[in-house]
Every structure is written in C-alpha cells, then in structure tokens.
Structure 1
Amino acid sequence: MAAPSTLIDTDSDEELPAGWEERSTGGGRVYYANHQDQSTSWSHPRTGKRKRITGELPFGWSKAVDEKGRQFFVDHLNKRTTYTDPRLAFAMEESSDPTKLAQRFDAYSTALHVLQGRDLSGQYAIVTGANSGIGFETALGMALHGVHVVLACRDLKSGNDAASKIKKRLDQAKVVVMQLDLASLRSIQQFARNYTLREWPLHMLVCNAGIFGAPWELTEDKIEMTFQVNHVGHFHLVNLLTETLKKSAPARIVMVSSESHRFIDFYSSKLDLSEVAMPKDKFWPILAYGRSKLCNILHSTELNRRLSPHNVTCNALHPGNMIYTGISKNWWPYRIMFLMVRPFTKSATQGASTSMFCATARELEGVGGMYFNHCCACMPSDEAQNTELATALWDHTDNIIKEALSNNSL
C-alpha cells in the first residue's frame, strides 16, 4: 500500500482528513482509502495507528451477501442496510505487546459505552436490586444488548415498573422480575429454587443490592440488617446458585463493594470477625456499611479461589462515590448530603459502567479475584487482601447461616 499523502490539520487526531475513508477487510483488518490519489494505507493517515475489528456484530445486526457477492450488513432494529461494518466504530488498536491491556474506559464512561458493539444474545443474568439506580442501569444495558435478565427485587411492584421501562426502550427485551428479599434467608432460598426450576443457565450474577445508613435492626433471621443485606444474603444466594453457575461456565460473579471498605473502624483498620455484625451498643451506620463492603471484597476473593477452577470467576468493584440512588433513603440527612453532591458525582449509568465491565469485558475472560474502580483494576486495602481473613470470613458466615436456618426450623 502507498504511503499517506500530505495532510491538512483537523480538530482531532482521530478525525480523517477530507477525501479519506475508513474501511475493513473480510478478516477484520481496518484500512484507509484516499479517494484523492486512489491509494490505501493500513495505518491511520494522521496517527499512524493500526486497528482491527474484533468480536460479534452489535445486537440486532446480521451479515448478508448481495447479487454481486459483496458483503453488506442489515440493521434489523432500524430496518436499514449498509456496506460499512458497524463494528468499525469500535475497532481496537493493534498492540505490539499482546499482553498489554489498554484502559478503554474511565470515570465518565457509562454502562452503554462499555457494551457498545456487543451482542450478548443467549446470555442469562441475574441483577439484584435491579429496580432502581445502578442495578436498573446494569439490567437495562444488558437487556438492550440481548441478555435474558432477571430483575431480582424485594418489591415486585417497583421491579415490574423497572421492567416496563426497559420494555419501552426495546420491546423485544427479555426481562423477568422475580422476588428476592436479601433480609430473609427463606426468601433467598425460594428465589434460588424458583430460578433452578426454570432450568435456565446463569452466565452473569451481579450482586448489586445493598443498604446504607440503616439504623440497628435484626432481620427475621436474627442477623443485623446491614450485615445480612449487604453480605450474608448475597453469600447465601451465590452458594445456592453455584451449581447452576458451574454448569453454565464460563460464568462471572460481580460483587458491588465500595471504597468505604477502607474505613471499617474509628481506631483500627482490622476486621474483628466476632463483631463483624456490629452489636447495638457499638453500632454506627457508616461503619457497619464499611465493614459489610470489606466483607464483599473478601467474599469475592474467596469465591474466585474456590470457583475459578470450574471456569467461574468473581471480581469486586467500587461503582463511584455518593452516587444519587435509593441507597441513601434510610435517613433524611443522608438524602440531603447525597443531593448536595449530586452535580459532582457520577450518574447512575456511569456508576453501572464498572459492573458492566466486570460482567462482560472480553479482556476479563478467565480473570478474577481483582478489585476495580472506574473500570480499572486497582489495589483494595491491605485488610481486603488478607486471604486468611477471607477464608475465616467464609467459615464464619457459613456458620451464621447454618445457625439461623437451624433456629428458623424450630
């Protein structure tokens, strides 16, 4: 191919100069055609970058061949055709180091940015707390890209309202609402039983639901509310669905944690398992939340250690600071505080981007036991990296559930 001709400056390095067109070969390599001198180049005429198209066609697209044998693309959702491969917009730069992963997303990315160009038809997912906020945006993005999504919600009415909103965006969306109350081991068991009876696979389990700022209260299982909803409930849910995840492998578990895991006590950064569920006389809502979020990361680490040999991986993440969702509803000062900082924080759909990245990113195939923020792997606290503590927490939580179930059966 000929070398690119002299170029005129443009506003963006990625913008093609006048007379140039981006095209792709049948094998997915991107090239550039110069209509002025009838030349072509494998490299971008301004940046010199080389790109390649990877992955499946976007949801709703298919390939076809015309009477002259030329390949074209059909957009069934918008009922149009084009000879331009729609994946060109998402072509990836070819790297000389195949082990180096580019940082594709950041704090401003949304859930739909992460899913651009993806067709996830045939995949099944469960998203807990999917009726609002980050959970809703996660479920919405998945459904818009072909995933069969179960909205696992405590309140069926709000869950059905959320499903209706998704259906308004895409009538063909596959969404099902199922009741799940993480404050009830009985409800969790019923949910898992109902899901298993449907004989659906499970490729993505997003443990998103949580509460923040709740006062001290015992659940029906006699477990402190924040600790049960944020940690124990998801622990029990994952255990009950483990065999389904293994049969569906490769599968992923996504644990929504928080940077609050770094602040678990006023005086110590160490987690005392004997008081991981804070007793009433020492209860402080923010600290209870931080402890439960540390448990999420430790749980994720231990899950990945146990399940990765079965091609089921697990990663934990921080969605963003003080995102304005229903999580702050428990006390009016928290609602005011979250409202005041709203202009300076992520939106719910930006908050869902890291959940979506952990659940679907190709570069995370077979990768687990990590902690992500802004779609980027980062280091959690030293306590969160304590593998012995992760194992001890697993045993401690398992014993709490066994004791609660034993008492409930009396």
Structure 2
Amino acid sequence: MFCSHIELKTQWDHPKTGKKKRVAGDLPYGWERETDDNGQVYFVDHINKRTTYLDPRLAFTVEEASEKPNIRQRYDGNSTAMEILQGRDLSGKVVIVTGANTGIGFETARSLALHGAHVVLACRNRARGNVATQKILDEWHKAKVETMTLDLSSLRNVEQFAEAYKTRNLPLHILICNAGVFGSSWQLTEDGLETTFQVNHLGHFYLVQLLQDVLRRSIPSRVIIVSSESHRFTDIKDSSGKLDLSRLSPAKKDYWAMLAYNRSKLCNILFSNELNRRLSPHGVTSNALHPGNMMYTSIHRSWWLYTLLFTLARPFTKSMVSNQLT
C-alpha cells in the first residue's frame, strides 16, 4: 500500500508506474480473521496473543499481473498485415488504396477493412475493383469498402477522382499510393509522358497535391508510398552530375523498362521525403516503403520474361498471405 501524507490518503496503485499490488494467499499460521461489533474486520494472532486491524499479509503483497495482449512484437518475412494489425480498431478511419484490386494493394485494403476502416479501392478497372470489394464483403459483410475509378495514366482522370472524392465530404486519414507498372514497353500516355513514370510517380504526385487539403483537415493523417530498393540502381543526373529531368520521360530510343521503373521508384522516395518535410509540421506525415525483395505479385504481368523469372523465384519469396490465411 502507498501512503500520501500530504493528501492523507492511501492507494494500491503505484503513483508513478501505475502498477498495482494486492494481498494474496492464506493468513500466516496462527492468525484468524474476525469481525468486531461495528462490522470492521480485524486479525487475531493466537500464538502471540495480540490483535490488529492490519492484514498481516500486507508484508507479502504481490504485483497484479497485467494481461498481455496477444500481439506479435517481432515481425519477419512470414508476418502478414492481419497479424500486424491484430488488436487494432480502425473504426472511423478512412483510407484510399490505389491499385487495390490485386496483389499488395488488395491485401492492404482487405486487412484495413477487416479491422474497421472505411476503405476506398481506387482502381483503373472498375469491374475488377468491384470483384475485389465483393471478396472483402464475402469475408465480413459489415466491412466498409467501395470502389472508385482512378486511372493514373490520365491526369484528367486523377482530377476527376479527386473532385468526386471531395464531393463525398469524407475525411482522409491514410492515402496509400500503391498502384504501379513494371516491365512495360515504351508508350506515351494521353498526357504525352512515358507510362511507367506517370503511373508510378507523377499520377500519385498529382493525386496527393489534389487531396492535400483533405489530408490537412483530417489530422493526424499520413501518406504511404510503395517504392522499392531498386531505386538504388539509378539516378536522374547526367554524366557531369547535373540534374537531367529528360531521363524521367525518355524517348523510345533511350528507353529501358527496368531503368524506367528504378527511376520512378527513386522519384517516389524523393517526393515522400520532401512531402514529409513540408506537411509533417501540419500533422500530415509521409513515408516510403520497400515491400520486400522479389515479393510475388502480379506486377510482372506486362512482360512474359519477368513472369517467368517471378515464377521461378516464387518458392523463395514472401507471399501475399501466410499459410494460415490461404
């Protein structure tokens, strides 16, 4: 028991740590519990022929064992989003996940929705997005999930998506920029930009700018950008070390799919760092992540050679879900 002589009170909770103690076990040998005429409990020591109103077990109090939540504290290559979110209640949170109809995006949307978040699956193909939404609803019919059309290869469509979202008057607590292409052949978007650069970086960049006011009204909020360790294998400087922005949307003769992907991922990280620098003082944080070495997803679907390589590597990569969830 802890006594406060200033406030003239006692308590079982430690005043600093909050830990609790309690009496436990039987009374010592020779002691007996009695009640006086006023109904107050006292204790009799028959061996030493004495009485006291203090419980003799107070000298042997034990600390109250707190129940530990069943949450894994260490995560590894076999951890899943469901395990990491275990015990979290995301009710009231609104999340947008781009490219959420398949792969990492779908598992992210699914895990967040099954923990109570209102999740918007922002997908280029609305039909596939609806199928993904229904899969989540089949798993939990109370899930708050919906599909909205977002084509990052069209800046006009990005604007339409942002305007449509704003008309909903919903907050935005988490914006996950996940959608991307890999191994695509050279082609220009309707905006005249190389597709890999626009879909992986510029489309998301524009989306964040258009929704920035919503993010700032929903603080604390965050932007999460799926990048890649492959950003280390490129740069956007010329041979003299000067910044060369023409490399971001190269002509066909200078195009290499893998290099274009690496540069787009580098742009993701540079953007995330600068976004966090500017918005974190206002309650909006930004982080970029590497989803895992050679994680098997459907991102390789653009070219048969990459599909073959990913298939061969699949036994040695992290899957979308663990064995318990498949």
The bucket for the TM-score relative to the shorter chain is: 0.7 to 0.9
Whichever residue aligns with residue 214 of structure 1, its letter is: S
Q: TM-score, normalised by structure 2?
A: 0.77
User: What's the counterpart of residue 238 of structure 1?
Assistant: 208
Moved more, 315-324 or 236-245: 315-324
Whichever residue aligns with residue 144 of structure 2, its letter is: K
User: 2:137 matched to 1:156?
Assistant: no
Q: TM-score, normalised by structure 1?
A: 0.62
Change (3 A) 1:31 1:181: farther
User: 2:160 matched to 1:190?
Assistant: yes
Residue deviations 1:259-290 (CA, integer Å, cap 9, x gap): 01011169979763232222211111001000
Change (3 A) 1:160 1:282: same
- Map 1:8-407 → 2, pairs under 5 A: 42=63, 88-90=69-71, 104-264=74-234, 272-349=244-321
**Distance in structure 1 (CA, Å) of the matches to 2:240 and 2:118:** 41
Change (3 A) 1:156 1:29: farther
Number of residue equivalences? 275
**Distance in structure 1 (CA, Å) of the matches to 2:119 and 2:138:** 15
Match of 1:295, SS state, is helix
Change (3 A) 1:280 1:203: same
Give the drift of 1:185.
0.5
Query: 2:235, 2:266 within 8 Å by CA — same for their partners in 1?
Result: no
**Distance in structure 2 (CA, Å) of the matches to 1:146 and 1:31:** 36
**Distance in structure 1 (CA, Å) of the matches to 2:147 and 2:240:** 39
Whichever residue aligns with residue 282 of structure 1, its letter is: D
Structure 2, unpaired ranges of 5+: 2-16, 27-56
Query: 1:265, 1:287 within 8 Å by CA — same for their partners in 2?
Result: no
Whichever residue aligns with residue 301 of structure 1, its letter is: N
Match of 1:348, SS state, is coil
Give the drift of 1:88.
2.6
Change (3 A) 1:109 1:43: farther
Structure 1, unpaired ranges of 5+: 2-26, 45-51, 53-84, 92-102, 351-410
Query: 1:146, 1:174 within 8 Å by CA — same for their partners in 2?
Result: yes
Give the drift of 1:42.
4.5
Residue deviations 1:348-406 (CA, integer Å, cap 9, x gap): 247xxxxxxxxxxxxxxxxxxxxxxxxxxxxxxxxxxxxxxxxxxxxxxxxxxxxxxxx
Change (3 A) 1:89 1:260: same
Query: 1:263, 1:269 within 8 Å by CA — same for their partners in 2?
Result: no
Whichever residue aligns with residue 181 of structure 1, its letter is: D
User: What's the counterpart of residue 401 of structure 1?
Assistant: none
Match of 2:302, SS state, is coil
Match of 1:205, SS state, is strand
Match of 2:296, SS state, is coil
Identity %: 57
**Distance in structure 2 (CA, Å) of the matches to 1:322 and 1:118:** 29
Whichever residue aligns with residue 185 of structure 2, its letter is: P
**Distance in structure 2 (CA, Å) of the matches to 1:143 and 1:309:** 29
